[in-house]
Structure 1
Amino acid sequence: MKKSMLSILAIVLGLIIIAFPMVGLIGAQAIIGVAVLLMGVFLLISGISEVDYSPSRGIATVIIGILILILGLILLFSPNTFAFLAALTIYLAGILLIIAGLVTLIGNKDSGFSFWSGVLGIILGVIYIILGTYARDPMVLGALIGIWLILTGIIRLLDN
């Protein structure tokens, strides 16, 4: 039951992130801030639920989730910080996807979900950094995090 709820949460958050760029009225700061914030929410909830199965992985995921939540709030509500970090934000979000993928991959090598979700996080993190270097549209980058959440949710649902 807990696995299904987390899977659905990931899919819903991914759809929300993808929907925001479609609106076209939200600035890059809000798009990236909301995407990072929702990524942090998912990692925090996922980490809390994983503490029962793997305490070290659960605690690491909770800590990363909290850090990403704080970063998302700062990006969302502090225009000055966003302006200062604008160039680094793209790389930072990609690095955070890679870190989340590594934590998931290393935490439990026996689970199909952990392996494929970890690999997916690492691959999408690298793609995020590459696209961030050349793409000038923040909607593409926000959608990439949404795609990661949706695919992670689907993989988690399909994992036995």
Structure 2
Amino acid sequence: MQKIGSALVLIVLGLIIIAFPLLGVIPFAILTGLAVLFLGVGLLAVGISSMGQNKGWGIAALILGILAIILGLGFIFIPSWFSFAAAIFVFIAGIFLILAGIAAIASRIEGGMVTGLIGIILGIIYILVAIYIKNPLYLGILIGLWLLITGIMTLIQKD
């Protein structure tokens, strides 16, 4: 039951980010903070639901989730954090996706290989999009895709 709840949270968060990647006219700093915050919430959900199956992956996802939440809230509420991180903030989210992918592969849980590879690929694409396109719309969509795919993979995994 907990796995289904976590999967649904991931799917809903993914759909929200895909549907509203720019959230109207909210400044770029807040958008990035929200995307990283949602990534952190998603990682926390995955970490909590994975603790019974694989403690290593669960702890890694929890740590990454907490770091992402702290960074996301910092970007939203402390403008100087965003100013300081302006040159590297986009890469942070890409790195989180890559690290989450590596941790999922290392966990050796069923579906972890697919979810991990998707996270690594989307993280690399995220960084490339950040370098060459610099459009927050596409960056938000990539995080939304990762959350959506991870949620779906969580739902279809056997216990």
In 2, the alpha carbon distance for the partners of 1:32 and 1:22 equals: 9
Match of 1:144 among 129, 135, 142: 142
Give the corresponding residue for 1:79: 79
| Residue of structure 1 equivalent to 2:127 | 129
Gaps of 5+ in 2: none
Measured against aligned partners, the alpha-carbon deviations of 1:51-94 in whole angstroms (never above 9, x if no partner) come to 11111221121111111111111111111111221120111110
Q: Which runs of 4+ in 1 moved over 4 A?
A: none
Shift of 1:127: 0.2
Q: C-alpha distance in 1, partners of 2:27/2:18? A: 14
In structure 2, C-alpha distance between the alignment counterparts of 1:40 and 1:132, rounded to whole Å: 19
Q: What is the CA distance between 1:107 and its match in structure 2?
A: 1.0
1:104 partner letter:
A
Displacement of 1:18: 1.9
CA contact (8 A) 2:22 2:31 kept: no
Partner of 1:157 in structure 2?
Answer: 155
Could you tell me how far apart the structure 2 residues matched to 1:135 and 1:143 are? 13
Distance change (3 Å), C-alpha of 1:58 and 1:151: same
Give the structure 2 partner of residue 54 of structure 1. 54
- Correspondence 1:60-75 to 2 at 5 A: 60-75=60-75
Aligned length: 158
Letter in 1 for 2:77: F
> 5 Å matches for 1:1-150?
1-108=1-108, 110-111=109-110, 113-150=111-148
Q: TM-score, normalised by structure 2?
A: 0.93
Q: Give SS of 2:86's match.
A: helix
Q: Distance in 1 between matches of 2:89 and 2:23?
A: 21
CA contact (8 A) 2:13 2:147 kept: yes
8 Å Cα contact 1:20/1:26 also seen in 2: no
CA RMSD of aligned residues (A): 1.3
- Show structure 1 runs of 5+ residues with no match: none
Tell whether the 8 Å contact from 2:10 to 2:45 is kept in structure 1 after alignment. Answer: no
The amino acid of 2:137's aligned partner reads M
Alpha-carbon separation, structure 2, partners of 1:144 and 1:125? 8
**Once the 2 structures are TM-superposed, how far is the Cα of residue 22 of structure 1 from its aligned partner?**
5.0
Contact 2:118 2:146 in 1 (8 A): yes
